[in-house]
Amino acid sequence: MSLERKLRRTNAKKKKKDAEKALGKKAALFGLLPNKCLTCEAPFDKMNREQVMSWNVVVRQEEEKVHLYCPECWSKAQQIIKDFKERLQNKKEE
Ligand SMILES: [Zn+2]
C-alpha cells in the first residue's frame, strides 16, 4: 500500500469517527433531556408530540446540560426579559 493511500484511508476513518462522535454527543444530550420543567416542575413526556413541539429546550453545550421549560414558564421568562430590557431602555432615556 502506498503511503498516500494509507493516509487517505486514515483520514476517511477519522471523518467517520468524528461523525459518530457528533451523533453520540447529540444522543447523549437527548438523554439528558429532563422530564420536567426546570421552573415549575410540570411533568414532561418526551413521547408526547404536542409537548415536544411546544416546550422549549435550551442546550448548554459547554456545561453539557439541557434545560427544559414548559410554554407557560417560557412565556413568563420572555416577559421578564422584555420588561428588563424596557426598563434598561427607559433608564437610558431618562
Ligand atoms: Zn414550567
What's the chain's Rg over C-alpha atoms?
22
Task: Compute the distance from residue 77 Cα to the ligand 1 centre, in Å.
Answer: 10
Model-level pTM? 0.61
C-alpha cell of residue 7: 493516509
- What's the pLDDT at 26? 66
C-alpha cell of residue 29: 444530550
The stretches in the chain having pLDDT less than 50 are none
Q: In sequence order, which residues have a C-beta less than 8 Å from that of residue 67 and are 6 or more positions away? A: 34, 38, 57, 58, 59, 60
Task: Compute the distance from residue 83 Cα to the ligand 1 centre, in Å.
Answer: 19
- What's the pLDDT at 59? 86
For residues 26 and 88, what is the distance between their CA atoms, to the nearest angstrom? 37
Task: Compute the distance from residue 38 Cα to the ligand 1 centre, in Å.
Answer: 6
